[in-house]
Structure 1
Amino acid sequence: MCKEGVEKTEDAPHKASHAGMVGGVDADLARTQHTAVYHRVSALLGQYVDGMGDRGKKVIKFASPAEILEVFGSVCADDGGAERERGASADEVVRLCELVLDYSVRTSSPLFF
Structure 2
Amino acid sequence: MPPGLDDLRAERDAQRGAEGFGSLADRDIVYLRRRSDEEDDEPAVQLMEVGSDGRRVRQVVLAEDGPAMRSSPDDWPFNPPVVDFFDPALAGQEISRSEFEEQWARARQADTDL
* Normalised-by-shorter TM-score class: under 0.3
- CA radius of gyration, larger in: 1
**TM-score of the pair, normalised by structure 1:** 0.22
Higher RCO (C-alpha 8 Å, min separation 6): 1
Bigger proportion of residues as strand: 2
**TM-score of the pair, normalised by structure 2:** 0.22
